[in-house]
Amino acid sequence: MTDENRLIAIETKISHQEFTIDELNEVIYQQQQQIDLLEKKLSSIIKRVEGAMNSGNEIGPPGEKPPHY
């Protein structure tokens, strides 16, 4: 293998690695967006549950009867 061929092979590998890194960065960004959204939803649910527990209200859809009725 000539030096030029070795250089081309190395440059090709680096190019593929850079592409893979860019793809992985995009996946990480999307996952962080999902995590942020889920944290907001969880926070909202926690506040709702705490509010219901403090006020003595039942947790669940309004007007829903317990299963034993």
Longest Cα pair distance anywhere in the chain, in angstroms? 83
- Residue 39: CA count within 13 A, CB half-sphere: 6
Domain limits, the chain = 1-30
pLDDT tens-digit series, residues 22-58: 999 999 999 999 999 999 999 999 999 998 888 876 6
Which pLDDT belongs to residue 63? Answer: 66
pTM over 0.75: no
